[in-house]
Copies of this chain bind each other. A is one copy, B any other.
Amino acid sequence: MDVLTFGESMVVFSPNNNGPIRHVHTFTKSLGGAESNVATAIAKLNHSVGWFSKVSDDEFGRFVINAIKAEGVDTSRVVVDKNRNTGILFKERYQRSNPNVYYYRKDSAASSLSPEDLDEGYIKQTKILHLTGITPALSESCRKTVYRAIEIAKENNILVSFDPNIRLKLWPVEEAKKVLVDIACRADIVMPGLDEAEILLGLTDKDEVADYFLSKEAKIVAIKLGAEGCYIKDRKEGVKVHGYNVSDLIQDTAGAGDGFAAGFLAGYLEKLPLNEIGQYANGVGAMATLVQGDMEGYPYFDQLMEFIGKKQGIER
């Protein structure tokens, strides 16, 4: 397996109309979750990928598993919890701005993930273990699970990839900073946004951010710069890769960061030069925004190539 990831996926209910959801009558069901977003995007790029979590023993749990399995992700290690709900969320949309979100995820099945739910033999088979900063924010046992998974990876020479995904709704900033910096410093691949880096490290210069993590365990750091693209630095070089200009076409920015991570990992697994890795990452991230829904917009490999081919823009 090329990539393994785990974390909470939820059933998403999107309003069929804009405006305050008190006035919205019907909602459409879909799937959301940072790690499963990454997993499905990687699967579409033809890399083998597994995802697991804990879900309820009901139709919502089955919906989550099946929707992810449908995209070609291995879900064989998902744990079913007979006593807890699958988390859900409602979106409330206004024109062009980010949607409000109503979470019903407290004490969800996924937030009870614990180190015992980890299948060490399964983890050993992967090349990269991808983690996000959402999981450690969900519960104490989730945090321990993340740390235990890193431990297993380290013991088995598996690369750890980390996207901080700071969610200040889920925990206080001080606690988030402490934990996320600690995890990021153990990761081989770190992918913060520049704004996230500032929160975590107090640094605003992209080279300083990259160098900070490279001085720890990171082999490579990718800093997301929004519409401007990204800055990728390893121990040999730093490359700024221009983003694709889709500002007029954006439908929904949800899932863009996860698409970036997926594109990055796909390119990294293919041992591409940094600028091409950045194109993959920027491309998947940009394409994610063109379709409403968290994961519906991720491209197949051919679609990514066509998109990238049309709209190049690289500079060192």
Q: Are B60 and A17 in contact (CB under 8 A)?
A: no
Is A286 positioned at the interface, with any CB of B under 8 Å from its CB? Answer: no
Is A104 positioned at the interface, with any CB of B under 8 Å from its CB? Answer: yes
Identify which of residues 78-118 in chain A touch chain B, using a CB-to-CB cut-off of 8 Å. Answer: 85, 88, 90, 92, 94-97, 102-104, 106-107
Identify the A interface with B (CB < 8 A): 13, 16-30, 58-60, 62-63, 66-67, 69-72, 85, 88, 90, 92, 94-97, 102-104, 106-107, 248-251, 290-293, 296-297
Q: Are B21 and A251 in contact (CB under 8 A)?
A: no
Task: Please state the number of chain copies in the assembly.
Answer: 6
A63, B296: Cα distance in complex, Å: 13
Assuming A92-B59, A102-B58, is B23 touching A26 (CB within 8 A)? no
Q: Are A291 and B20 in contact (CB under 8 A)?
A: yes
- Which residues on the B side are within 8 Å of A28 (C-beta)? 25-27
Q: Are A16 and B26 in contact (CB under 8 A)?
A: yes
Supplied contacts A59-B92, A60-B90, A94-B291, 6 more A-B pairs, CB within 8 Å: A13-B13, A20-B296, A59-B102, A66-B72, A94-B290, A107-B107
Residue of B nearest to A24 (CB): B29
Residue of B nearest to A75 (CB): B72
CB-based closest 10 A-B pairs:
A70-B70, A19-B291, A66-B70, A25-B25, A22-B63, A22-B59, A104-B104, A23-B296, A95-B249, A21-B59
